[in-house]
Amino acid sequence: MNPNLRTTLLGAALASLLAPLAGAQISEYYVMAGDQATFHVIQGGVLLRSWSPAPGTANYQYPIAVTTTVRTMGANAGEIGAEYDLAGNDLTTRYTHPVGPGRCWDGATDGLRHYAIDSGGLVFRFDQSWSNPVQLFDAGGIGSLTYDPTNNSLWVGQFSTMIVTEYSLSGTVLRSFSTGHNSNMALAHDNADGTLWLHDRTTQGTFEQWSKAGALLARIAVAGMSGQNALGGEMPSRGVARCTFRNGNGVNPTGYDCVTRPALGTIWTTSYNANPNTALTGLLIGLNGPGSGIAIGNGELLLALGAPPIVFSGNGNLSLPVPNQPWLTGSLVSTQGLRIDIVGPLQELVLLNAQDIELGR
């Protein structure tokens, strides 16, 4: 066969195979309709499942962060959000909207920290417990937002304008496009294909997929969503490097944190709450996954027993290179921090909290 003809036929065959995927929704889309006090999960234009907020928590839980669980914050100061598994079961952890941000309308996560936008358009960064808010920049008004791991940036959709804008984390405008309508809410980034999804609030129940260049890829009216005022929304932050705090039965002091995300091809840095009596800080990397309930001294080992953990030690922050190997994407590793403190003539082991990490972009 003529090589040029073979290439043409192969290209046509691939195009025909990929055509049905154009505009497809790959990841599940988690949205929150506060007026109806309901969470919904949408995929492929179909409403898959719904659930109500956990008992004793706010009806309005627009700020939403999705990884292997769903973590929400109450929309207004003092209101309570919760942690759910991906099926909507209450995991009993609660998060309170802290003082500082006003009423918040949407949330996102970069795998290490959470983000939200309030009624004044102020964008805030939080820790993973929706605490310790830090104002990043002013986006100009009520809207929605999502994190883009490909550019370490935030996309913001406006409620009162037609514009969706990409910002650096310091607030520099990187690019923008118009959707042709106001009320661009429940903005979400699909990490599976790098596209943006949003709820066209002018036509409740209609969701749109956009390229980052501003091309409309799909517009879908989802059956069962026409009466749902979905304003907050996110897609799972999978394939994105992240750290998740864990502290077993709560007997260990906290203070072991990820300073940077464990992204492939980067230096991963961790910090420890050292004090003047600290002689050594240490990082335990478990080979058997998470564990709990194993008492050592006054603390609790949070790594499963089996093969001994790998130990790295030093003074202060510890940094490790993460191999730039794509096959490591999605790998889960349990880690725990520790200190050796000098107490009089003795050395005291202080076990700290754990961080369960996922390697990725």
The pLDDT of residue 242: 85
Domains 24-234 and 242-358 share a fold: no
- Identify the CATH number of the domain defined by range 242-358: 2.60.40
| Model pTM above 0.85 | no
The pLDDT of residue 181: 96
Residues of the chain short of pLDDT 70, as ranges, are 1-24
φ/ψ of 43, rounded to 5, equals -155, 135
Can you say how many angstroms the Cα of residue 54 is from the centroid of all Cα atoms in its chain?
20
Cα–Cα–Cα angle for 51, 238, 218, rounded to 5 degrees: 70
Domain locations along the chain: 24-234, 242-358
Question: In 153-222, at which residue ranges do the beta strands (DSSP E only) sit?
Answer: 153-158, 163-168, 173-178, 184-190, 195-200, 206-210, 216-221
Distances in Å between the Cα of 98 and the Cα atoms of 80, 110, 131 are 10, 20, 6
How far apart are the two ends of the chain, measured CA to CA in Å? 42
Closest CA relative to residue 340, chosen from 281, 299, 300: 281
The pLDDT of residue 351: 95
Inter-residue contact 300 to 219 (CB < 8 Å)? no
Inter-residue contact 332 to 356 (CB < 8 Å)? yes
Question: In 193-343, at which residue ranges do the beta strands (DSSP E only) sit?
Answer: 195-200, 206-210, 216-221, 230-234, 242-246, 257-258, 267-271, 278-285, 290-296, 299-303, 310-314, 318-321, 332-343
Fold of the domain built from segment(s) 24-234 = Methylamine Dehydrogenase; Chain H (2.130.10)
What is the distance between the alpha carbons of residues 47 and 227, in angstroms, rounded to a whole number? Answer: 13
Burial annotation 42-54 (CB, 10 A radius, 16+ → b, else e):
bbeeebeebeebb
φ/ψ of 19, rounded to 5, equals -55, -45
pLDDT tens digit sequence for 57-104: 999 999 999 988 999 999 999 999 999 999 999 999 999 999 999 999
Percentage helix, strand, coil for the chain under 3-state DSSP, each rounded to 5: 5, 50, 45
